Structure 1
């Protein structure tokens, strides 16, 4: 796998990671609720590590070749986004959990982050549609599984850098502005609800 291919994937992947979505919303909420940014981002990265391992095992190819399975996973991810978005709209994160919501434990913060990225439809799109375009299949000197692992590691590094920055900026900029913090989290919740609802309608209409 040559450096040019890795660099090209890094650029495309970084653009995708920088598009706000469920991962961003979770990183922002973690930054507002207390000292949980590292655990939250670690969970998000762990979810994509799971995606990478599955892709290396060839399961991504299996999913991509099975419309029923791909639809089921997309519906599950969309439903999870709707559930998360509704929860954020009902109880928007405020600085230091000032809304009376108890702070989540590090383990719960980590596991929820892994669930969000693991079921994120944007993640499915990346691993099933975008990443395969950068793999050398025919005449490859490097096994496809190893290529997938390298690209997956690039994606995880991008996620760690961007989401950690987002979470820390939310803590530094928004914690002193409760009204702005609520507006940002409500916007994130509405975005998750809208994206999840659109995907659900799209998938169910195709059945």
Structure 2
């Protein structure tokens, strides 16, 4: 695979990753709640990695063409986002104290699982692999399609990890001494989760 192809893919992929959405909302919320945003980032990236494995295995086309699978995935993801968003609105995060941070660290696995659920139940991530990746994969350039898909997936996962980690750290650092602003940002994040979940349900019901 040529370096120019990878560079072009990275530019397009970064535009998509930099677009705020449910992943951003969760990274911000996790950054305000805990001492480390690593568990949330790992969970979010793991959800994308699951779709990467599906894409490498060549199953993305099958899943994307199955209305039943996409419907179940969309509804499950939408309901999950609505539930998480409502929870964030009910208990908006503030910058954690030292004691609270230690308590939050103990639930790192739960944080990772929530992150995995947010990105892993989002059909938009699957459609990203199905619609974007084929534009940068060329069967005749000497690389197997699976290898090209795997390389593009690694680039995408790295971009996700860097962006989500940065978003979480910035949210915690910038809002550390501003509890009221932190609550406002968290409420906005929760509202974003609810809005995205509602839009996913509306799109699926309309279809």
Deviating more after overlay: 89-98 vs 197-206: 89-98
The 4+ residue runs of structure 1 with deviation greater than 2 A are: 100-104
Cα shift readout 1:129-162 (whole Å, capped 9, x = no counterpart): 222222224x342111111111110111101111
Q: Report how far residue 108 of structure 1 moved.
A: 1.3
1:126 is matched with: 128
1:144 equivalent to 2:176? Answer no
Q: Report how far residue 172 of structure 1 moved.
A: 0.8
1:109 paired residue among 105, 108, 111? 111
1:193 is matched with: 194
Aligned length: 204
1:2 equivalent to 2:2? Answer yes
Q: Report how far residue 33 of structure 1 moved.
A: 1.4
- Pairs within 5 Å for 1:11-90: 11-90=11-90
Query: Is residue 64–residue 126 contact of structure 2 (8 Å, CA) maintained in 1?
Result: no
Q: Report how far residue 36 of structure 1 moved.
A: 2.8
Cα shift readout 1:85-122 (whole Å, capped 9, x = no counterpart): 11111111111179x89626121112221121111233
**Unmatched 5+ stretches in structure 2:** none
Q: Report how far residue 180 of structure 1 moved.
A: 0.7
| Aligned-residue CA RMSD (Å) | 2.0
Q: Output the TM-score relative to the length of structure 1.
A: 0.91
Query: Is residue 32–residue 97 contact of structure 1 (8 Å, CA) maintained in 2?
Result: no
**Unmatched 5+ stretches in structure 1:** none
2:172 is matched with: 171
